[in-house]
Amino acid sequence: MALRIYNTLTGGKEDFVPLEPGKVKMYVCGVTVYDNCHIGHARAYTAFDMIFRYLKYSGYDVTYIRNYTDIDDKIINRANEQGILWSEVAERFIGEFNKDMTALGIQAPTFEPKATEHIPEIIAIVQRLVDKGNAYEANGDVYFRVERFPGYLKLSKRNLEDMQAGARVDVDDRKENPMDFALWKSSKPGEPAWESPWGPGRPGWHIECSAMSMKFLGETFDIHGGGKDLVFPHHENEIAQSEAANGKQFVRYWMHNGFVNINSEKMSKSLGNFFTIKEVLDKYDPEVLRFFLLSAHYRSPIDFCDHNLDDAEAGLERVYKGLAAISAALDVMTAVSVSGGEAESDLVEKLAAFSDRFREAMDDDFNTALALAHVFELVRAANRLITEVSSLDEGQKGLLAAVREKITEVGQVLGLFYSAPVEYLERIKGRKVAGMSIAPEEIERLLAERAAARKAKDFKRSDEIRDSLLSQGIELLDGPQGTVWKVK
């Protein structure tokens, strides 16, 4: 099966055929560095990191660009609030962004350009648009004429006349059309500025990405990505200014990840349901967050809540427990010709089909949810063999070793399963224990009391202890070897 990608521009899945065989050129819009990143940023950059990894796994030579918008009204306002230089704000939050990305296992792109380092390229494109009549100067500002670009709104499938009629934009008499957008902004007193043919000023947001993508990837390239919220106006305006300047197609495949909802509501600072990556990582392991984000298809909306994060933590823990069980089984003395019966046959079948199934899922527009389902199937089959065969022979050990190798291999593609299993399980247990309202020593004391009550057939007291612990988030599991507890 060939790789198929959903193209926002055409509204359907298409076979992926790069401009240059064996090479992929990809640009993803980066952050405006004025604050710490939120969970929406985590979703976008985890999704495109996964895509970057899978393209490389598939044998492509990938050039991946992710920019920094390091000059913007928000950066200037934050600097003024704190009484520091705008550049200090930008550098500080570039550093914080990098810490968040490292924690989430997100690989560095090929290049990470900054807008302020590409002012000459920006000015050159704006001048070309002015010369062609696609842009005009008004008191030091330069605007793009949307009516001069016939394909405007082809990405978002909107209607220009309807938008003009109901446009909620500030009335600006300098604009020929209320939908015209800024390519260059004249500077106000005290603001950072660069010299240009239209006077001192700074670039508009949209033109920055056109200039940086074209510099590193050319006038036409393969993939442009970002969050769904960027379809309009940002990506729509990028298309208009780039194709008007160059007279050719700007991007062949437009990819957009879905929104993050918080407890089924749209994430918003005004609603008070806005979470930074740092806040989430105070409560959950970074790999749990990444696993959660990849557990849904990248284009689907995803509901961020404690329950779903807890489910993700439990799912990831199942994989790591399976890997730990495989490692433990491989350390046991080898038996001679012990039949694994149906469990062994099932594992052989699932292992043989696993690589093809993983690729089929990923080739279908990067369906990580289905890919992870195949991982769970393989882990369950391996656990069944380990449980049903008391002592493994060399062939069965080889089978389990191959399972571990395959999970590790796909883990490198997804950015998961990279920890030593025992280390991960201890790390998660430590986080859970640290967040408990009851000390482990007290739990053990109550377990001893409960065991004594059960021995004395005082089942009322036994149930009281169990229910009391459960109300504090501690679940008891009774088994033939005794009772163990876990954080619910």
Q: Do the annotations mark residue 56 as ligand-binding? A: no
Give 333's DSSP letter: P
Please list the pLDDT of the chain residue by residue as tens digits (488 residues). Answer: 799 999 999 999 999 999 999 999 999 999 999 999 999 999 999 999 999 999 999 999 999 999 999 999 999 999 999 999 999 999 999 999 999 999 999 999 999 999 999 999 999 999 999 999 999 999 999 999 999 999 999 999 999 887 876 555 556 788 999 999 999 999 999 899 999 999 999 999 999 999 999 999 999 999 999 999 999 999 999 999 999 999 999 999 999 999 999 888 877 776 777 899 999 999 999 999 999 999 999 999 999 999 999 999 999 999 999 999 999 999 876 766 566 689 899 999 999 999 999 999 999 999 999 999 999 999 999 999 998 887 788 888 999 999 999 999 999 999 999 999 999 999 988 877 766 677 777 888 888 889 888 889 888 898 888 888 888 878 888 876 678 777 76
Q: Do the annotations mark residue 234 as ligand-binding? A: yes
Sequence letter at residue 24 = V
What is the end-to-end Cα distance of the chain in Å, rounded? 42
DSSP string, 65-127: EE-BB---HHHHHHHHHHTS-HHHHHHHHHHHHHHHHHHTTPPP-SB--BGGGGHHHHHHHHH
pTM: 0.89
CA distance 438 to 289: 26
Q: Do the annotations mark residue 269 as ligand-binding? A: yes
Q: What pLDDT was estimated at residue 109?
A: 98
Which residues, including other chains, have CB under 8 Å from residue 363's CB and lie 6 or more apart? Answer: 1, 2, 3, 4
Q: What b/e readout covers 404-442, taking b as 16+ CB neighbours within 10 angstroms?
A: bebbeebbebbbbbebebeebbeebeebeeeeeeeeeee
**What is the C-alpha R_g of the chain?**
28
CA distance 412 to 347: 22
Question: Cα-flanking dihedrals φ and ψ of residue 479, to 5°?
Answer: -145, 180
Q: What pLDDT was estimated at residue 424?
A: 94
CA distance 188 to 151: 33
CA-nearest of 29, 55, 393, 22 to 238 is: 29
Which CATH number does 318-427 carry? 1.20.120
For the chain, give every domain's residue range: 4-279, 318-427, 436-487
Q: Do the annotations mark residue 238 as ligand-binding? A: yes
Query: Class for domain 4-279, per CATH?
Result: alpha beta
Q: Do the annotations mark residue 305 as ligand-binding? A: no
Is there a cis peptide before residue 203, judged by omega within 30 degrees of 0?
no
